[in-house]
Amino acid sequence: MTQQLVLYPLLLQMFLSIVLMFCWTKISWQRVISIIGSLINVGVSIWLFSYIWENGTQIVQAGNWKPPFGIIFVADTFSATMVLLTAISGLAVSSFSSASVVAARLKFGYFPIFHFLLLGLNGAFLTGDIFNLYVWFEIIIISSFVLITLGGEKAQLEGSVKYFTLNILASMIFLTAIAVLYGLTGSLNMADLAIKIAAIDNRGLVEITAILFLVAFGIKAAVFPLYFWLPDSYHTPPSAIAAIFGGLLTKVGVYALIRVFTLIFVDDLFLENIILIVAVLTLFSGALGALVQNNIRKVFSYLIICHIGYMIAGLGLFTEVAIAGTIFYLIHDIIVKTNLFMVGGLIFRIRGTNSIRDLGGLYADYPKLSLLIAIPLFSLVGIPPLSGFWPKISLVIAGFEAEQWWVVGAIIFASLMTLIVVAKVWAAVIWKDKKELPVRLNFRYFDKLKTIRKLR
Amino acid sequence: MITPMIFLSLVSLYIGFGAEHIQQVSTRVASELIDNNQYIESVLGKEQIIGHEE
């Protein structure tokens, strides 16, 4: 039973999706099933994590085909941690969705698709086969595309076109890279690839293949210069969807980068330098982008890009301290970013706008809520002893040890910029006096359209 | 809408104030990633690694 434990997070999400499809019209049932299912998923993920922690890496061979021939699922500490974080974020978003997503959206299969997305994420974290990783990525793209367009508002469709185009491009590059890799080695098993790639003499071809993977996963992780789809699409869907996107979707790209560049393409100074350059430019562009935005969700979107830079920098430095910093940052970032987009949704619900210029007076009206909002915001800055502080320290130490002063400088610059951006958001949304806004025309005013037409 | 925010804020506070636990996890993950032989050995078994090396 415990050997199959690796598959339980996948099977549970698949089971939930199917059950939820049978309750297509029963929205209240869907809400309950989704929350209870997510709660069970957290339990299963904790079980998996503690089992891996005690007993080490576990594998399951699909169809009992011995590796490297069959598809395998591998749960090591890294993938078990990611599955646990997905479960925690999934539970929070599931219950947030129940309260915040309107019934009109829920009627079109919101919850089944949401659990398909979680299935795709768990699959990507647990697979040990590079082509199977591509398949899970496709499941993620299909589910996220449905979620991002659900509701069919103009801004959503505009954002989803950018999202879909760039992600399909990433998939094409990913598939090309897999084809080249298969041509070089004749294998798709990641562990087998690690051995076979190391034995190839034509290092130029190996480096080109690695760069194809870097571009494909770079688009998904939203690194410089492949990030522009993210701020244009993440501010358009409902905040619950943006929360799971902001918390987990870019992180699956980061996971893939870490997995591939620590297992298959290792000990290559050229690749490490490329990754470091990309990381530094991502830190700069994300931080500066966040600084000039006035839409609160766009600010958070640029901060996602900026903070992806920290994780990529740790990967580029490639020391134990740096990778530990990256993993710590990944854990902190998934929780904080999910929470921040939910905060954005709550602020929109209260004030009816996302514009920083028009917001204000939140502390005067909701002092306890403001204190709650302070936790993810100040964690993001890394104010000690909050969660963002520790991984940044690890990355700075790793940068000093590797004598990569420019990387250390970029990390400190991005931290300072994050502080300025968060201070700006805090001052404008929480401290500043409330601005009286004109009454917003909502759907409930649509019944007055007939009267307006008559007046013509 | 507030409950999931409180839940994630508590998790976030745990990551910050219980950083030694998270650091322990991060360090173990990092050591497994840096020394990828553990992963390869778990998937392929020792025999296949020796076969490949030969």
Higher confidence at residue A184 or residue A452? A184
User: What's the pLDDT score for residue A252?
Assistant: 94
- For the cut 60, the answer to whether the pLDDT of residue A427 exceeds it is yes
Give CA A113 to chain center in angstroms.
17
- For the cut 80, the answer to whether the pLDDT of residue B21 exceeds it is yes
- For the cut 50, the answer to whether the pLDDT of residue A428 exceeds it is yes
Which residues from B are below 8 Å from A319, CB to CB?
A: 34
| Per-residue tokens: A120 | 């795709």
Q: For residue A238, which amino acid is it?
A: P
CB contact, 8 Å: B20 with chain A? no
Higher confidence at residue A367 or residue A455? A367
Mean pLDDT of A10-37: 93
Mean pLDDT of A347-367: 84
Mean pLDDT comparison of A119-133, A216-230, B38-52, highest-scoring range: A119-133
How would DSSP label each residue in A254-277? HHHHHHHHHHTS-S-HHHHHHHHH
Question: Do residue B26 and residue A324 have CB atoms under 8 angstroms apart?
Answer: yes
User: What's the pLDDT score for residue A136?
Assistant: 96
CA A325/CA A314 separation, integer angstroms? 7
User: Can you tell me which residue has the tokens 């994050």?
Assistant: A418
Residues 22-51 of B with CB under 8 A from A: 22-23, 25-34, 36, 38-40, 42-44, 49
- For the cut 80, the answer to whether the pLDDT of residue A94 exceeds it is yes
- pLDDT band for position A225 (50/70/90)? confident
CB contact, 8 Å: A59 with chain B? yes
Question: Do residue B4 and residue A263 have CB atoms under 8 angstroms apart?
Answer: no
- For the cut 60, the answer to whether the pLDDT of residue A129 exceeds it is yes
Mean pLDDT of A377-402: 93
User: What's the pLDDT score for residue A218?
Assistant: 94
pLDDT tens digits, A390-423: 999 999 999 999 999 999 999 999 999 999 999 9
Residue B44's closest chain A neighbor by CA?
Answer: A67
User: What's the pLDDT score for residue A313?
Assistant: 96
Which residues from A are below 8 Å from B21, CB to CB?
A: none
Higher confidence at residue A444 or residue A344? A344
Mean pLDDT of A45-55: 96
| Per-residue tokens: A339 | 């929470």
| Per-residue tokens: A409 | 């400088």
Residue B50's closest chain A neighbor by CA?
Answer: A195
Question: Do residue A95 and residue B3 have CB atoms under 8 angstroms apart?
Answer: yes
CA B23/CA A320 separation, integer angstroms? 12
Q: What percent of chain A is modeled with pLDDT above 90?
A: 64
Q: For residue A440, which amino acid is it?
A: R
- For the cut 90, the answer to whether the pLDDT of residue A312 exceeds it is yes
- For the cut 80, the answer to whether the pLDDT of residue A67 exceeds it is no
Specify the range with the lowest mean pLDDT, choosing from A6-15, A279-288, A293-302: A293-302
Mutation test of the interface with chain B: which of A77, A200, A254, A326, choosing the one with the most B Cβ atoms within 10 A?
Answer: A77
Q: How far is A453 from chain B (nearest CA, A)?
A: 38
pLDDT tens digits, A188-220: 999 999 999 998 888 899 999 999 999 999 999
Residues 397-456 of A with CB under 8 A from B: none
Question: Nearest to residue A279, comparing CAs of A334, A227, A208?
Answer: A227
User: What's the pLDDT score for residue A361?
Assistant: 81
- For the cut 70, the answer to whether the pLDDT of residue B50 exceeds it is no
User: What's the pLDDT score for residue A440?
Assistant: 55
User: Can you tell me which residue has the tokens 């990783």?
Assistant: A133
Question: Do residue B12 and residue A321 have CB atoms under 8 angstroms apart?
Answer: no
- For the cut 70, the answer to whether the pLDDT of residue B49 exceeds it is no
Q: What number of H helices and E strands is found in chain B?
A: 3, 0
Which residues from A are below 8 Å from B13, CB to CB?
A: 375, 386-387
Question: Do residue B9 and residue A72 have CB atoms under 8 angstroms apart?
Answer: no
Give ipTM to 2 decimals: 0.92
Domain boundaries, chain B: 19-54
CA A229/CA A221 separation, integer angstroms? 11
- For the cut 80, the answer to whether the pLDDT of residue B1 exceeds it is no
Query: What is the value of pTM for the model shown?
Result: 0.92
How far CA A406 is from CA of A185, A254, A441, B9, in Å, comes to 37, 22, 50, 33
HSE-up of residue A126 (Cα within 13 Å, Cβ side): 30
Mean pLDDT of A294-321: 93
